Amino acid sequence: MRFTSTALALAAALTTADAAYKGFNYGAFFGNNAAKQYTDFKYEFEAAKTLPGTNGQFTSARLYTMIQHGTTKDPISAIQAAIDTKTSLLLGIWASATTPSGAQTVINNELAAFQAAIDKYGSSFTNLIAGISVGSEDLYRITPTAAKNGEKNPGTQPADLAKYVNQVKSFRDKTSLLKGKLVGHVDTWTAYVNGTNKAVVDTLEFLGVDAYPFWETEHANAIGNGKTLFYDAYNQVKAKAQGKPIWITETGWPVSGPTQGQAVANTANAKTYWNAVACQLIKDNVNLWYYTLQDVQYANPSPSFGVKPGGDLKAVKPLFDLTCPNSAKFRF
């Protein structure tokens, strides 16, 4: 049957205004500590949009910082790349430092870069903002588990992190172009269910959740349990979220690397996890930033989570089929 103008309008509405954000995570530098530049971000954002099997749905990017790597407070070049590729942004405000005074300096510099970007790009930038995340796994990093796992980045105490969230909310409220933009935090699901972190949850407008069944070696974490473990984590966070939105800011299954507990890293299992978790989140219209499009070049990470081959910037074909089973199609 031919599409009518009404049908086309409905299809457009369902695929744009009502659709959740879908994207990947993007760091500010390569594995050799070289800063990503405009051309690097532009390539990545365009590559995400043209991934075979995804119907061009991955049009959002999660950033970890507002600051161009190697500078003190220059706006990250990903912003210009996002404007030029029409990529929405879950912005990141880095909030971790070895001392609270040091972290406050980091926050001040992040907000200076944020303001500079607003001054330079105006609504061309702010209209792309999906939300603003203050910090990334800062609460996890202060736990014994993080120390046991060899975490090198310093974390942030709950009271300090809550203060930084409120500072960013105040910055938002004083900036007319940021009206309606939600301010939240990204952390492991275990951080949110820890009652000692309630002061942080109280300040948030959304909870960004990182959940990886692959790492949950204290459970039976074979790929067949991946979906169950993920949604167990999701539901535990939901119980602590005070009715606030839950955004999935990191999840994935590695395509290669050492086994963790019962979890085996390979492309077949990565595809299984994609089908079971990513496709379910897409179907349920949950904001999702998957980990990850392409692992940091030159780093040779192990395990590797990239859905595209690492080290090959021009690779088009993903390492496994990203088509969701029984993908919804408009029928008129």
Is residue 305 scored above 60 in pLDDT?
yes
DSSP class of 69: T
User: What is the reported pLDDT for 6?
Assistant: 35
Token look-up 């061309």 returns 124
User: What is the reported pLDDT for 330?
Assistant: 29
Task: Please list the active-site residues.
Answer: 137, 250
Helix (H) or strand (E) holding 129: strand 129-136
User: What is the reported pLDDT for 301?
Assistant: 87
In a domain, 101, yes or no: yes
Is residue 40 scored above 90 in pLDDT?
yes
Degrees, nearest 5: CA angle 230-233-234: 85
**Phi, psi at 79, each rounded to 5°:** -65, -50
Range of the domain at 181: 20-212+243-250+284-290
In a domain, 224, yes or no: no
Q: Which of 205, 207, 208 is nearest to 182 (CA)?
A: 205
73-127 pLDDT, tens per residue?
Answer: 999 999 999 999 999 999 999 999 989 899 999 999 999 999 999 999 999 999 9
For residues 184 and 209, what is the distance between their CA atoms, to the nearest angstrom?
10
Integer-rounded Cα Rg, in Å, for the chain is 19
In a domain, 312, yes or no: no
In a domain, 226, yes or no: no
In a domain, 273, yes or no: no
DSSP class of 238: H
In a domain, 265, yes or no: no
Where do runs of H (alpha helix) occur along 71-99?
Answer: 78-85
User: What is the reported pLDDT for 298?
Assistant: 67
DSSP class of 126: H
- Tokens representing residue 62 in the block: 């999660």
- Structural domain tally of the chain? 1
In a domain, 31, yes or no: yes
In a domain, 47, yes or no: yes
For residues 150 and 154, what is the distance between their CA atoms, to the nearest angstrom?
11
Domain CATH for 181: 3.20.20
For residues 74 and 122, what is the distance between their CA atoms, to the nearest angstrom?
16
